[in-house]
């Protein structure tokens, strides 16, 4: 970066592990100023040191959860005080959630939506006005192909990602002409703390974390509306299975889940 071109001001939520940490590290190598958030303060400061070593122009470590509106407002106030605003916000913080309708419980849905949907809303409320005012900025939300159909066993997660993708789409359309670009990111299986709990045989085309992070950042740089990968998994899900009529989808997905 030259002295006349200040480094990009970037935010990554949920940066203590997995894709968030990998994306933050790759942005640090570009010389970005990076704000990172996460609940685990010790890991957050570990990532902070890593980003400084990797070449970040500046790092703000902001401990706390995205599901707390007051916490998010305080975090953005610190960012504004330090840098004046943001050029890139990657809203990555997310949790998994499972439930079975035969023993339906509301709590898994409430907890999953609190982070995966409300957490994004909390940040959008803070950052959109300033991005509109500066007539520039990119917002990327990390959603999932699991939101393209209602999947058995992971109803809370699937429903939250469907809501998030729809939220990002409506936000993108409403911000047309403002200079603010919105990206819906739907990665397939990527190695992380969340996917480490799964059976590898249930995760086709599992990607290394660094590879997944690089693909996301390339999609953001290309100003795509939707970033999804790997194509071997997401193309048939998006263009074939997502369009199955219910009479065909229901028995097929039931048989798959039982196997």
CA distance 92 to 11: 10
Q: Which residues contact 213 (CB under 8 A, 6 or more apart)?
A: 19, 22, 23, 25, 26
User: Alpha-carbon distance 186 to 234, whole Å?
Assistant: 8
Angle of helix 118-134 relative to helix 69-83, nearest 10 degrees, comes to 30
Burial class (CB in 10 A: 0-12, 13-18, 19+), 189: buried
Q: Which of 148, 157, 189, 229 is catalytic?
A: 157
Active-site residue flag, 157: yes
Contact (Cβ atoms closer than 8 angstroms) between residue 90 and residue 140: yes
Residues taking part in catalysis: 157
């Amino acid at each position: 970066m030259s002295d006349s071109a200040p480094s990009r001001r970037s935010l990554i939520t949920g940066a203590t592990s997995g894709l968030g940490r990998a994306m933050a590290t790759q942005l640090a190598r570009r010389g970005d100023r990076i704000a990172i958030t996460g609940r685990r303060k010790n890991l957050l400061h570990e990532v902070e040191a890593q980003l400084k070593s990797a070449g970040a122009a500046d790092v703000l470590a902001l401990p706390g959860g995205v599901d707390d509106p007051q916490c998010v407002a305080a975090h953005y106030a610190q960012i504004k005080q330090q840098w004046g605003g943001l050029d890139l916000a990657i809203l990555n913080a997310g949790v998994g959630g499972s439930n079975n309708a035969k023993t339906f419980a509301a709590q898994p849905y409430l907890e999953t939506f609190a982070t995966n949907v409300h957490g994004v809303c909390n940040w959008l409320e803070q950052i959109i006005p300033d991005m509109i005012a500066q007539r520039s900025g990119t917002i990327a939300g990390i959603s999932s192909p699991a939101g393209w159909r209602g999947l058995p066993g992971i109803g809370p997660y699937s429903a939250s990602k469907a809501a998030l993708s729809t939220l990002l789409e409506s936000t993108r359309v409403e911000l047309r002409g403002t200079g603010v670009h919105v990206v819906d990111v739907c990665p397939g299986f990527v190695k992380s703390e969340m996917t480490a709990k799964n059976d590898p045989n249930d995760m086709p085309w599992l990607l290394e974390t660094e590879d997944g992070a690089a693909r996301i950042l390339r999609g953001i740089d290309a100003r795509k509306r939707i970033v999804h990968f790997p194509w071997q998994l997401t193309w048939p899900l998006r263009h074939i299975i997502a369009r199955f009529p219910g009479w065909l989808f229901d028995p097929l997905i039931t048989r798959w889940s039982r196997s």
